[in-house]
Structure 1
């Protein structure tokens, strides 16, 4: 089946960065917009993300974008800090083009960012975080030690720029951004879904449980058997279930969110 057509969009963030984006019109509910946030070194143009956007467009229109420092977007990656303004620009665009309900769906770093965006900025009707870390500086797995090498070492940043078209900031965060699990506590009563695989090689299940616990019992937690990490491991079936959840949970019933 051919992928649903998408149309290029240029977004402008609150801190005046140009963000490359694309809009895939809805093949489903006309009033639902889904903002799709990729993982670190990812892109809206990757095959996995284009497939996810196609499946989600069966439930609502999709605004996908490249985070700052990624692909054709301007700036440098701050690895989850200022990226909340990239999400905010995409949410604002979705509202501007007529979507009355907007749900953010993020994978890995994007999963952390949509949590922080919902907790700090707000303005969304539901949030889905997939394969996200609960806290910063986690180095307990080999893939995450490799990620830190790419972020912290000059040769690592060069490799990310040449190999993945990802430009990463130099130096360290100052001040330290609010951690994802801390942001989660600020999200209720907005519906929240946390999705994590029991075969995730980057972040073990303790991250998903920490995020779920931080929501104080208001979030849903899906532990997916055999699911690895982020977009590359996401099956069409999982994405369809996420789309169905977003469509159902973002619709208030008598002024109260469904549970």
Structure 2
């Protein structure tokens, strides 16, 4: 399996920006503005070409007229399936690409988008509008799946959004052959409470803040609706941003068939390790084999 350089770290690391963002979520309770839940970065810091990957820039327009940008990475050799990737919070596709750069050589074409306000995408991020971005990208990839299986792969916030997206749209679920959730949280109020508890400044706010976080988009409330589509939940026991218990609770609530990949890594770090990539490939390849 091809080796890639380590994740980009010159700007804020994903973990550090996640910590900042989670604290900003507490401030959003005062303003009532969901945009403060998101921490976008406009500049691209690398391209797939710099990683030796073939790619195409894709521009799509959402139902509300926002242009969003994405990268399409074609499969190398025979196409096995399509992967729709929803990245985590902070920065943009250029800093999250390492999570999926290894998939094309395994026969999987990948489409990854930047939500509105991230990278080259127009607009400002916010709930529930961001689901229109996810829908637009999913429809584009589905039309180009060549009758091969389609998988949704989300990380961190992207995993939480992806679970809600798949769990609340029967037509989408019916088109999916599998869902992979890496480091998702259970509820917005749970993750805000955890973030507030990590510093002395916000510790007294953890319960008042969580009580006021009333977004109706919590993945744990809908994850059981993904069944009978196969579900793989990936979560690291060393995750200090979204503790492992979130992944365990999501797994317990989900319907069959489901699988929990418990790793020793930190937040969205599992795919940096070859052995964890192989575990994910086993999940993907098993479903692809059954589709023939």
Normalised TM-score (structure 2): 0.68
Cα distance in structure 1, aligned partners of 2:100 and 2:141:
14
Instruction: Name the CA distance, whole Å, in 2 between partners of 1:7 and 1:145.
Output: 41
Q: Residue 57 of structure 2 aligns with which residue? A: 8
Contact 2:188–2:215 (Cα < 8 Å) also in 1: no
**Residues 48-127 of structure 1: pairs in structure 2 closer than 5 A:** 49-57=96-104, 58-78=106-126, 81-100=128-147, 101-121=149-169, 122=172, 123-127=175-179
Quickly say closer, same or farther: Cα 1:252–1:243, change in 2 above 3 A.
Answer: same
Partner of 1:210: 249
Match of 1:177 among 216, 227, 238: 216
Please name the residue that 2:183 is paired with: 131
Say which SS state the counterpart of residue 93 (structure 2) adopts: coil
Q: Which is worse superposed, 190-199 or 36-45?
A: 36-45
Larger radius of gyration: 2
Structure 1 CA distance, aligned partners of 2:115 and 2:277?
21
Are 1:249 and 2:259 matched, yes or no?
A: no
1:43-66 CA deviation, whole Å, 9 max, x = no partner?
A: 1111xx323332111231000111
Is the partner of 1:190 in helix, strand or coil?
coil
In 2, distance between residues paired with 1:34 and 1:233? 15
Q: Could you tell me how far apart the structure 2 residues matched to 1:21 and 1:38 are?
A: 11
Equivalent residues of 1:59, 1:243 under 8 A apart:
no
CA distance in 2, matches of 1:234, 1:107: 13
Q: What's the counterpart of residue 166 of structure 1?
A: none
8 Å Cα contact 1:3/1:54 also seen in 2: no
Paired residue for 1:198? Answer: 237
Q: Output aligned runs, 1:142-157, within 5 Å.
A: 142=195
State the superposition RMSD in angstroms.
2.7
More helix by share: 2
Other structure's SS at 2:225 match: coil
Note the residue ranges of structure 2 that are not aligned, 5 or more in a row.
3-50, 203-211
Which of 233, 243, 260 is the aligned partner of 1:221? 260
Q: Which residue of 2 aligns with 1:157?
A: none
Alpha carbons 2:179, 2:231 under 8 Å: kept? yes
Give TM-score, length-normalised by structure 1: 0.76
User: Which protein, 1 or 2, shows the higher relative CO under an 8 Å CA cutoff with sep ≥ 6?
Assistant: 1
How many residue pairs align between the two structures?
A: 225
Using the TM superposition, name which of 4-13 and 245-254 deviates more.
245-254
C-alpha distance 223-55 of structure 1, shift in aligned 2 (>3 A): same
Q: CA deviation at 1:32?
A: 0.9
- The 3-state SS of whatever aligns with 1:186 is helix
Task: Tell me the residue number matched to 2:10.
Answer: none
Conserved in 2, the CA contact under 8 Å of 1:55 and 1:236? no
